[in-house]
Structures are given as C-alpha cells and as structure tokens.
Amino acid sequence: MGFLPLIKPYLIQPFSRHTPERRYYLLGMPVFLLLGNYYLIGLPYFRNLSAFFIGTVSSAGFYWLLVGALRLVVRTVIGRFPHVRQAASRTLTMLLLAAGITTGLAVIYVWFYSLIPVLNVSFSWDTVLPIWIVSYIVDVFLCTGISVYFTYSQWETNQIENDRLKRMALQHQFDALKGDLNPHFLFNSLNSLSALIGEDTTKAERFVDDLARVYRYLLQAGKHELTSLQTELDYTRVYANLLKTRYGDSLNITFHVADEYRLRSLPPLTIQTLIDNAIKHNVMSVSNPLTIRINTLPDGRLEVKNVLQQKINKIETTRAGLANLTVRYDLLSDDKLVIQQENEWFIVTVPLIDLGHI
C-alpha cells in the first residue's frame, strides 16, 4: 500500500473533495486537447490558426465539463456508499455513472465539432467508437483507483477509531477499578457500620453482608462486558440499601422494571454509575430528599432519572462516569446513551441489549 499516498493528491483529492488546487486538472489538459483534436481534425489542427483556436477552446470547455461531472459523480457515490463493506456497490455505481457521462459527452463532442465548418469534421459512429473505447478504459482505471483508495482510507480510519475506543475502554476499566475500591466509600461505609453496631446489631450484621456483596460484585464486574438487567438490579438494590443506611430519608430510590426486559443486558455497574452521578451533583436533605427513579420504557430501554437539586457551589467536573458509559456503549452497541434534561428532571436513557438478536 506504499504507493497509495503518492496517488492521493493527483487521483483522489481532485475528484473527491472541494479543492482550489486546479493544477491537478491542468495536468490532463494537454493530453486531452492535443490527442483529441489531432484525432478529430488531423494535421489542420496544427496548421490552421482558426482550427487551432476553435478546437482548443472547444476541447477545453468539454474537458472542464467532464471533470466537473466526474467530480460530482464521485462525491455523490461516495456519499451514498460511504462504508467499507459497500466497496463493490460503490465501484460498480461509479463506473456505470462515469461510463454514461463519457458516452454522452463523446457523442456531443463529435457532433459539436461537425457543426463548425472550419474544423471539417463529419459525425459518424465510426468516429465516436474509438473515443468511447478510450473513455471506458480511463473510467475503469479512474473509478477503480478512487474506490480502492477510498476503501483503504476508510478501513484505516476505522482501525484508528477502534484502537482509540479500545484505549479509552482500557482506561475506563482502570478508572473504574480505582473508583470501585474508592477508600472514601469504604471509609463512609465503616463509619455507618460503627454507628450501627452501637444502635442495632441486627442492622449492623445485615450492613456487613450487603457491603461484602457489593465488593464481591465490584471485583467481578470488570471481568464481563455485559450482565443481565436482573443481576444488575439485584446488585443495585443491595447498593441502594447501603446508601439508605447512610443517607436515611434524604435519599429515595425507586424501581419500576417490566419483567419482559429483565433478561436483556447492559454493562456492569451502569445503574450504580448513574446513581453516584446524581448524588455527586445534587443536594439532599430530609425535608428535600433526592429522588432517583429507575424504570423501563415501552421501547425496551432503561431510564434512570433524578430530580434536579444541583449544588450551589458546584465542583467543576467532566462527568467522567457518563463519558465512560458512553464509550462503553460505543464499543458494545449501535444504540447510543441518551442524556437530557427536562424541566426539573435529569434523565439518562440506557439501551438494553438483546443478545438473542445480535
């Protein structure tokens, strides 16, 4: 593929992009003008000043018309068939359209010359036929070269993008592991446990069990790309119990999940990430509790929404949790995470992946 960068400026770019580099097209003009006029007019083209002038101007006009038409065809076809897997359709369509244009222009070209007496050209199909043959050969090389190069460029771009997404995913896994073992979470949990031991030993024992289940799930989550919604809900309820012990009536988390979607899949820790994001960016109190609702939608997506009670002194943040979730879905599914704000609600809609239809 080492020759491809060499042909890009001279073969691909002039036809596939808008560019002021007219010198690319000028390279082909001498061949088109001299050979075309010599074929149709013969030696009088070089001997008769009027024939030379009229033939040159006429050929130049047809040449630029042809270049413009081919550029339009290439850009249109590439826009219609932009993907690597569409290479065959792209090449065939480009060839057919280019052949149609050159066929028509060749006829018009000879006919136009026949109308000018000083050129002394007679219109006949025998005269048009060699022009068709040469034009079709040029069309094949031009369209095939453009399509091959474009396919290679798209493949290379896809590889670069895939590598970028994989690096981001690896970084996410590392960040998630650091967040999963967050010492602040453990410290707060131990403080809550310490308070419970002196107040209610039964609750304290249940708290320890829930904390162990949470950390067990956290440590296993990084080993799997997807988990079932039911498994994620079971874990989230345990995690919500820990949060409820800490925040009491200041936090209200509700679940409304249809049974038919419980076997669908999503990335592990998705719901926890959205809950943590809501707690991080909003205030809560007993008199003004933070409400978080987790429910499924009729179209098979999961919606996690929280009341907007944003902190007055907000800490500048890039919402890394939401960014990581977006990247994970870019890797796993064509469906995208939807983040929106409606009135007093902050809403994240999560696609649920049906593994049976992949």
pLDDT tens per residue across span 286-302: 999 999 999 999 999 99
CATH topology of domain 183-351: Heat Shock Protein 90 (3.30.565)
The more confidently predicted of residues 24 and 258 is 258
Q: How far apart are CA 149 and CA 255, in angstroms?
A: 52
Contact between 269 and 218 (Cβ < 8 Å): yes
Closest to 257 in 3D by CA, of 278, 240, 279, 232? 232
Structure tokens at 96: 């057919």
Instruction: State the maximum Cα–Cα separation within the chain, in Å, rounded to a whole number.
Output: 113
CB-based burial, 132-153: b 16+ in 10 Å, e otherwise: eeebbebbeebbeebbbbbbee
All CATH 3.30.565 domain ranges of the chain, comma separated, are: 183-351
**268 has pLDDT over 50:** yes
CB-based burial, 315-351: b 16+ in 10 Å, e otherwise: eeeeeebbebbbbbbeebbeeebeeeeeeeebebbbb
**Of the ranges 165-179, 213-227, 242-256, which is most confident?**
242-256
Give 79-110 pLDDT, tens digit per residue.
Answer: 888 887 888 888 899 999 999 999 999 999 99
The torsion angle over the Cα atoms of residues 140, 142, 144 and 150, rounded to 10 degrees, is -160
H-type alpha helices, the chain: 4-7, 13-16, 23-26, 29-41, 44-47, 49-80, 87-114, 125-180, 183-199, 201-221, 229-247, 270-281, 320-332
Please report which confidence band the pLDDT of residue 357 belongs to, taking 50, 70 and 90 as the band edges: low
User: What 3-state class would DSSP assign to 282?
Assistant: strand
Closest to 12 in 3D by CA, of 179, 149, 185? 149
